[in-house]
C-alpha cells in the first residue's frame, strides 16, 4: 500500500511533490544494438525525504494519512 498524504493547509489529498531516495534492483535488457529496456524494477529500500503540497507549496502542513483513517478506502477489518 502506497503512503497517502493530506495537506492540512489547503485540504489537498491528491497532488504532492515527493523527494525520495530509492535503492533498486532491475533487469537491464539490451538489444545487440545497445538499446536498453529496464524491466522488473524492485524497490529494495526507499527513504522519503520531503513531501510538499503541489497546490499551496507548503511542506510543513503535509501529514501522512494513517491506515484505517476515515479518508482511506474501506475493505480491511480492524484487527
Residues that bind Zn ion (CB under 5 A): 7, 9-10, 12, 53, 55-56, 58
Q: How far is the CB of 73 from Zn ion (least distance, A)?
A: 22
Residue 59 and residue 56: Cα distance in Å, rounded?
9
Residue 15 and residue 1: Cα distance in Å, rounded?
17
Q: How far is the CB of 61 from Zn ion (least distance, A)?
A: 6
Q: How far is the CB of 13 from Zn ion (least distance, A)?
A: 10
Query: Please, what sign has the CA dihedral across residues 40, 76, 51, 55?
Result: positive
Q: Which is nearer to Zn ion, 38 or 64 (CB)?
A: 64
Q: Which is nearer to Zn ion, 4 or 55 (CB)?
A: 55
Quick one: residue 64, left, alpha or beta (phi over 0 = left, psi -120 to 50 = alpha)?
A: beta
Q: Which is nearer to Zn ion, 15 or 22 (CB)?
A: 15
Set of cell numbers at residue 46: 526507499
Amino acid at each position: 500500500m502506497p503512503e497517502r498524504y493530506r495537506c492540512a493547509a489547503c485540504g489537498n489529498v491528491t497532488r504532492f511533490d515527493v523527494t525520495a531516495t530509492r535503492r533498486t534492483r532491475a533487469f537491464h535488457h539490451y538489444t545487440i544494438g545497445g538499446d536498453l529496456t529496464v524491466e522488473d524494477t524492485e524497490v529494495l529500500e526507499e527513504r522519503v525525504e520531503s513531501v510538499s503540497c503541489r497546490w499551496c507549496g507548503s511542506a510543513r502542513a503535509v501529514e501522512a494519512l494513517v491506515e484505517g483513517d476515515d479518508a482511506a478506502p474501506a475493505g480491511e477489518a480492524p484487527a
